[in-house]
Amino acid sequence: MKDFGEAKFVLGMQITRDREKGKLWIDQHTYLKNILKRFNMEDCNPVSTPFDTNQRLIKETHQQSKHETDYMKTVPYQEAIGSILYAAQVSRPDFSFAVGSLSRFNNNPSKSHWIAVKRLFRYIKETINYKLEYTRGIERCLEGFSDASDSDDRKSTTVYLFKYQGGPISLSPPQRLSIWP
């Protein structure tokens, strides 16, 4: 067994400490930069929100055209969702809801779903330097937040976040619950 000192970079996660101020930061700047490069989005135009508020994502009930079906076969939709989901679970709860919602369409994504994923990439580009911060010495306080939204298929999507001393400690992935039996 060897002692390599303090952890600084583990599983795509960078850990920065300031022991004097009692602060610790976790970020995935390098991992997210590599994701943007892998999906050819490193030069995209950044946006300030992960979702377009005017866009409503639904399962496609109509038959996609042959052209759209062929196009979607070339799109790495599931790979993109999986890559973003990892970052959302480790250090970026700000887009957890968005990626969780988009993952519901993994089986049969349409072009509009892929456009929403690309918007999420654009949000990542805008916020690539965001970090989780944990501070020693703040009042010990446990906070909990939850939210739910309805969808057109009689199911609700719910999420929760618990924070301790200002830093997130538990985040639920979006869960689909039936509203009616």
Mean pLDDT by 10 residues, the chain (181 residues): 84 89 89 95 92 75 71 89 89 85 86 92 94 78 73 63 74 52 41
Burial class (CB in 10 A: 0-12, 13-18, 19+), 2: exposed
Q: How far apart are the first and last CA of the chain?
A: 55
Predicted confidence at residue 154, as pLDDT, reads 56
Predicted confidence at residue 177, as pLDDT, reads 44
The helix/strand/coil state of 23 is strand
Predicted confidence at residue 179, as pLDDT, reads 43
Burial class (CB in 10 A: 0-12, 13-18, 19+), 171: middle
Predicted confidence at residue 128, as pLDDT, reads 93
Q: pTM for the whole thing?
A: 0.77
CA-closest candidate to residue 133, choices 6, 52, 15? 15
List Cβ neighbours of 14 (8 Å cut-off, separation of 6 or more). Answer: 8, 26, 27, 28, 29, 30
Asked if residue 103 lies in contact with residue 85, where contact means CB atoms within 8 angstroms, the answer is: yes
Determine if residue 84 is left, alpha or beta; phi over 0 gives left, psi from -120 to 50 gives alpha, anything else beta: alpha
